[in-house]
Amino acid sequence: MKTQFLGKTLSGPFTIPSGIVTCSAPIIQAFFDSIPEVGVLTTKSIGPTPRAGYREPVLSQYAPGCFVNAVGLTNPGAEKAAEMMAELVIPEDRFLLISIFGGSVEEYVSVAKIMAPYADGLELNLSCPHAKGYGMAMGQDPALVQEITAAVKAAVNIPVVPKLTPNVPNIGEIAQAAVAGGADAICAINTVGPGNHLSYGENVLSNGMGGMSGKGVLPLALKCVNEITNAVDCPVIACGGISSADNVRAFETLGANIFGIGSALVGMTTAQIGQYFKTLTNDLTSAKSNKAEALIRYDIDMDFQPLTLVSNEKVCDDIAILTFDKKVGVQAGEFIFLWIPGLGEKPFSALTDDPFSLVIINLGSLPTP
Ligand SMILES: Cc1cc2nc3c(=O)[nH]c(=O)nc-3n(C[C@H](O)[C@H](O)[C@H](O)COP(=O)(O)O)c2cc1C
pLDDT single digits (tens) 106-145: 999 999 999 999 999 999 999 766 666 665 678 999 999 9
Reduced to 3 states (helix: H, G, I; strand: E, B; else coil), residue 132 is: coil
C-alpha span between 49 and 110 (Å, rounded):
11
Expressed in angstroms and rounded, the spacing between residue 181 Cα and the centre of ligand 1 is 24
- Beta-carbon contacts of residue 19 (< 8 Å; ≥ 6 apart): 44, 45, 69, 71, 99, 262
Any idea where the domains of the chain sit in the sequence?
Answer: 3-295, 309-361
C-alpha span between 36 and 248 (Å, rounded):
17
Average pLDDT of the residues in 207-223: 97
CATH node for 309-361: 2.40.30.10
CATH node for 3-295: 3.20.20.70
Q: What is the DSSP letter of 46?
A: B
pLDDT in tens, 161-172: 999 999 999 999
Question: Residue 138 has what pLDDT?
Answer: 83
Question: Residue 133 has what pLDDT?
Answer: 61
Average pLDDT of the residues in 88-101: 97
pLDDT in tens, 306-326: 999 999 999 999 999 999 999
Question: Residue 311 has what pLDDT?
Answer: 97
Examine the pLDDT at 7 and tell me if it is beyond 90.
Answer: yes
Examine the pLDDT at 361 and tell me if it is beyond 80.
Answer: yes
Show the DSSP H helices in 35-189 as ranges: 78-86, 105-115, 136-139, 142-155, 171-180
What's the CA angle centered on 280, arms 259 and 258, to 5 degrees?
15
369 or 281, greater pLDDT: 281
Q: Work out the pLDDT band at 334, boundaries 50, 70, 90.
A: confident
Q: 199-212: buried (b, 16+ CB within 10 Å) or exposed (e) per residue? A: beeebbbbbebbbb
Examine the pLDDT at 299 and tell me if it is beyond 80.
Answer: yes
Of 224, 221, 263, 217, nearest in space to 243 by CA: 263
pTM: 0.94
Burial environment of residue 262 by CB neighbours within 10 A (0 to 12, 13 to 18, 19 or more): buried
Ligand 1 and 43: CB distance under 6 A? no
Q: How many residues does the chain have?
A: 369
Ligand 1 and 194: CB distance under 6 A? no
Atom of ligand 1 nearest to the CA of 73: 8
Question: Residue 244 has what pLDDT?
Answer: 98
Examine the pLDDT at 367 and tell me if it is beyond 80.
Answer: no
Expressed in angstroms and rounded, the spacing between residue 184 Cα and the centre of ligand 1 is 21
Expressed in angstroms and rounded, the spacing between residue 71 Cα and the centre of ligand 1 is 10
Ligand 1 and 99: CB distance under 6 A? yes
Ligand 1 and 241: CB distance under 6 A? yes
Atom of ligand 1 nearest to the CA of 241: 25
Expressed in angstroms and rounded, the spacing between residue 179 Cα and the centre of ligand 1 is 22
C-alpha span between 123 and 145 (Å, rounded):
13
- Do 32 and 10 meet the contact criterion of CB atoms below 8 Å apart? no
Question: Residue 82 has what pLDDT?
Answer: 97
Average pLDDT of the residues in 13-39: 94
Question: Residue 22 has what pLDDT?
Answer: 79
Question: Residue 333 has what pLDDT?
Answer: 86
Reduced to 3 states (helix: H, G, I; strand: E, B; else coil), residue 113 is: helix
Average pLDDT of the residues in 29-52: 96
Question: Residue 368 has what pLDDT?
Answer: 59
Percent residues over pLDDT 70 in the chain: 96
Question: Residue 128 has what pLDDT?
Answer: 65
Question: Residue 215 has what pLDDT?
Answer: 97
Q: Work out the pLDDT band at 75, boundaries 50, 70, 90.
A: very high
Ligand 1 and 67: CB distance under 6 A? yes
Neighbours of 314 (CB within 10 A): 10
Pocket test for ligand 1, best of 42, 45, 148, 190 (most atoms within 8 A of CB): 190
Examine the pLDDT at 197 and tell me if it is beyond 90.
Answer: yes
Domains 3-295 and 309-361 share a fold: no
Average pLDDT of the residues in 24-36: 95
Examine the pLDDT at 369 and tell me if it is beyond 60.
Answer: no
Q: What is the DSSP letter of 343?
A: T
Q: 89-119: buried (b, 16+ CB within 10 Å) or exposed (e) per residue? A: ebeeebbbbbbbbbbebebbbbbbebbbebb
If you take atom 29 of ligand 1, which residue's CA is the nearest one? 19
Examine the pLDDT at 290 and tell me if it is beyond 90.
Answer: yes
Reduced to 3 states (helix: H, G, I; strand: E, B; else coil), residue 205 is: coil
